Amino acid sequence: MTTEAVKNALRRQEIELPSWAFGNSGTRFKVFPQPGVPRSPEEKLADAAVVHKLTGVAPSVALHIPWDKVDDYAKLAAYAKEQGVRLGAINSNVFQDNDYMLGSVTNPDPRVRRKATDHLLECVDIMDATGSRDLKLWFSDGTNYPGQDDIRDRQDRLAEALKEVYDRLGDDQRMLLEYKLFEPAFYTTDVPDWGTSYAHCLELGPKATVCIDTGHHAPGTNIEFIVAFLLRVGKLGAFDFNSRFYADDDLMVGAADPFQLFRIMNEIIRADALDPDRGIAFMLDQCHNIEPKIPAIIRSVMNVQEATAKALLVDRDALREAQQEGDVLGANAALMDAYNTDVRPLLADLRSEQGLDPNPIAAYQRSGYFEQIAHDRADGQQAGWGA
Ligand code: PSV
Ligand code: MN
């Protein structure tokens, strides 16, 4: 690919920001509040708009309900537009109500299942108002002890709830089914892996696709294999990007393993699936517990851009030729040459051509925005991860 073609592809790239990454977050040990943290969904959108203004590639913001509950979602969408961003995926939350201790849609109690499914349906109503395409579902449902509940019955309950929500989706709406190996459930999780998610999505139909959260796998899992497999069968809908060293760490994407991020983006480019028209949502799902949030999100966006640029630089003809000739080292070298290219000058050029500062983090630090929000948001209740 020529440098111009690489730049053109990068110009069209879109990365979706999670509203909750701008709020306070932490571990079960402590949440350290930070100055300037938003106190409302509107302030989260304002911060996200700053990230988009400085990077040019983050035009949409995912909401989490009820963390971002407002009275008028159409008004919130209009506010987002004024700020220069749009509302993206609606994330449901059936993991923080006392009723969900033994599960939400898979709970043995039909009253609790009804309540959880009603919340998911309410999220689709919200999508109607915001114009969002995607409903993202993550279930913390599972059990802690062998024998606690019937594993197979729980799959039936899950399938029933998913079907009801699927049938409620409009023609242009989709369901993204996220999986996670463990936590908070420690024995069985009802959607623990991509195979389970894929099987449910297949049964549901074309509007249901898998969401890969990069932090939700067992150590050593080959995530790019999952990406390649799901792309081949048209069932990859989205990513929740973040980094993990140990479990679901939710650190900045590209921080723990930039090479893995490159290998994932390499499969995306291999399948020609980068362009927003191809329908894959590239979202971040991160928590900035100790680092300042806005520059951390800018850094994350830049990490995704860098991995993408490297993947675009892979000499596909040379790679294909080496693969077909069984040239193991040559094929590997084609990938490694691209990975080892310093793409920062190319991205700096691109930003200059787009009228952006070549160094978005330095531009943020010079902007005075942090000082402004730290001052303006000194009072009131800061937004948090719901804890
Ligand atoms: C669960 O760990 C998860 O990845 C889901 O996407 C939730 O909606 C999100 O984290 C909340 O940060
Ligand atoms: Mn996630």
Q: Read out DSSP for 143-205?
A: ESSTTSS-HHHHHHHHHHHHHHHHHH--TT-EEEEE--SSSS-SSEESS-SHHHHHHHHHHH-
180 pocket-lining for ligand 1 (C-beta < 6 Å): yes
- Residue 1, in any domain of the structure: no
Coil, strand or helix at 325:
coil
Average pLDDT over residues 303-326: 98
* Whether the CB of 91 sits within 6 Å of ligand 1: yes
Q: Is the CB of 224 under 6 A from ligand 1?
A: no
pLDDT of 48 strictly over 90: yes
Residue with tokens 């951390």: 296
Range of the domain at 194: 13-314+358-376
Percentage helix, strand, coil, to 5, in the chain?
50, 15, 40
Position 208 in a domain = yes
Residue 285 lies in a domain: yes
Q: How large is the C-alpha radius of gyration of the chain?
A: 21
Distance of CA 46 from the midpoint of ligand 1 (Å): 22
- Residue 164: inside a domain: yes
State if residue 240 touches ligand 1 by the CB under 6 angstroms criterion.
yes
Q: How many helices (H) and strands (E) does the chain have?
A: 14, 10
Measure the CA–CA gap between 22 and 31, rounded to whole angstroms. Answer: 14
Instruction: Supply the residue whose CA is at minimum distance from atom 10 of ligand 1.
Output: 285
Q: How many CA atoms lie within 13 A of 319 on its CB side?
A: 16
Residue 193 maps to a domain: yes
Ligand 1 pocket mutation pick from 139, 284, 285, 287 by most atoms within 8 angstroms of CB:
285
174 bridge partner residues: 134
pLDDT digits over 186-206, tens only? 999 999 999 999 999 999 999
Which atom of ligand 1 sits closest to the CA of residue 183?
2
Ligand nearest to the CA of 191: 1
The Cα–Cα gap between 364 and 303 comes to: 16
Task: Kindly indicate the confidence band of residue 1, based on its pLDDT and cuts at 50, 70 and 90.
Answer: confident
Measured in Å, residue 138 CA sits from the centre of ligand 1 at 7
Nearest CA among 258, 232, 167, 171 for reference residue 204: 167
Q: Pocket of ligand 1, candidates 136, 138, 182, 191: which has the most ligand atoms within 8 Å of its Cβ, to mutate?
A: 138
Q: Is 213 in the pocket of ligand 1 (CB under 6 A)?
A: yes
* Cα–Cα distance measured from residue 34 to residue 52, given in angstroms and rounded to the nearest whole number: 21
Q: What tokens were used for 307?
A: 């991995």
- Kindly state the percentage of the chain with pLDDT values over 90: 99
Average pLDDT estimate for 24-44: 97
Indicate which residue's Cα is closest to atom 12 of ligand 1. 285
Q: Which atom of ligand 1 lies at the shortest distance from residue 140's CA?
A: 1
Is the shortest distance between the CB of 241 and ligand 1 below 6 Å? no
Q: State the residue for tokens 């990454």.
A: 21
CATH of the domain at 366: 3.20.20.150
pLDDT of residue 385: 77
Output the six-digit token pair for 321: 């030729």
Name, in order, each residue with C-beta under 8 angstroms of 375's C-beta and a sequence gap of 6 or more.
Answer: none
CA of 196 to the centre of ligand 2 (A): 16
Q: Would you say the C-alpha torsion 285, 291, 295, 296 has a positive or negative sign?
A: negative
* Ligand 2 centroid – CA 320 distance (Å): 34
- The mean predicted confidence, pLDDT, of the chain is 98
pTM of this prediction?
Answer: 0.98
Q: Is the pLDDT of residue 235 over 80?
A: yes
Please compute the mean of the pLDDT values over residues 128-153 and round it to a whole number.
Answer: 98
| Tens-place pLDDT, residues 347-384 | 999 999 999 999 999 999 999 999 999 999 999 999 99
Domain assignment present for residue 330? The answer is no
Residue 387 confidence (pLDDT): 45
- Residue 47 in contact with ligand 1 by CB distance below 6 A: no
pLDDT greater than 80 at residue 270: yes
Of the candidates 260, 316, 327, 251, which has an alpha carbon nearest to the alpha carbon of residue 287?
251
68 lines ligand 1 (CB under 6 A): no
Report yes or no on 328 lying in a domain: no
153 contact partners, CB below 8 Å, separation of at least 6: 108
In this predicted structure, the answer to whether residue 386 has a pLDDT above a threshold of 90 is no
Pick from 208, 243, 213: nearest CA to 227: 213
Closest residue by Cα to atom 3, ligand 1, is: 138
pLDDT in tens, 246-258: 999 999 999 999 9
The closest residue, in CA terms, to atom 5 on ligand 1 is 138
- Which of 349, 231, 240, 234 has the alpha carbon at shortest distance from 287? 240
Q: Is residue 325 situated within a structural domain?
A: no
Q: How far is the CA of 52 from the centre of ligand 2 (A)?
A: 21
Q: How many structural domains compose the chain?
A: 1
240 C-alpha vs ligand 2 centroid, how far in Å?
Answer: 5
